[in-house]
Amino acid sequence: MPQTASALGPDAAAEIATALNQALAETVVTTMLAQNFHWNVTGMSFGPLHELFQTIYEDHFTGQDDLAERVRAIGETAEGKLAVHLDRSKVTEGDEGAEDREMIRHLMEAQETIGATLAGLSEIASRHGDIRTEDLAIERGRVHDKFAWMLRAHLR
């Protein structure tokens, strides 16, 4: 049965919040990854990559807020410490001295990682009848799939 945020039981809210905070951590780390690469990309593809990386980090900044606000809407605490995000995230920081193709590859893999995390979040939310979190996870997953595709296209 579909539920509003306030109708979720404490166990359901805690499980959903854990998955949301995982997605949040990976989004935070990937936001910084894209910004780092935006600042430091060089080479013949500087212009388009500089712009693409900016598009990604600007989108992800908004995505962080959406995920954190959903955690709060279900009555849980959104993790806000960078150290916690870095520790929790399956996405790792990137090397600002990397070549452009390595930046693209690393950022593409980050998009795929977040996409998989969001798919898991969607399943958890669906199991608990939390259609709003499920919808958020699906929509954010589409965004990350698109960015992964765009980045992958640069490597072909």
Q: For residue 49, is it within any domain?
A: yes
Tally Cβ neighbours within 10 Å of residue 113.
19
Can you give the CATH number for the domain in which 37 is found?
Answer: 1.20.1260.10
Is 86 among the domain residues? Answer: yes
Total domains in the fold of the chain: 1
Q: Is residue 42 part of a domain?
A: yes
- pLDDT tens, residue order, the chain (156 aa): 556 767 789 899 999 999 999 999 999 999 999 999 999 999 999 999 999 999 999 999 999 999 999 999 999 999 999 999 999 999 999 988 999 999 999 999 999 999 999 999 999 999 999 999 999 999 999 999 999 999 999 999
Containing domain of residue 121, as a range?
7-154
The H-assigned helical ranges of the chain are: 10-40, 46-73, 82-88, 100-127, 131-154
In a domain, 2, yes or no: no
Residue 1 resides in a domain = no
Do the beta carbons of residue 70 and residue 132 sit within 8 Å?
A: yes
Interatomic CA distance for residues 88 and 37, integer angstroms: 21
Q: Report the distance separating Cα 93 and Cα 85, nearest Å.
A: 11
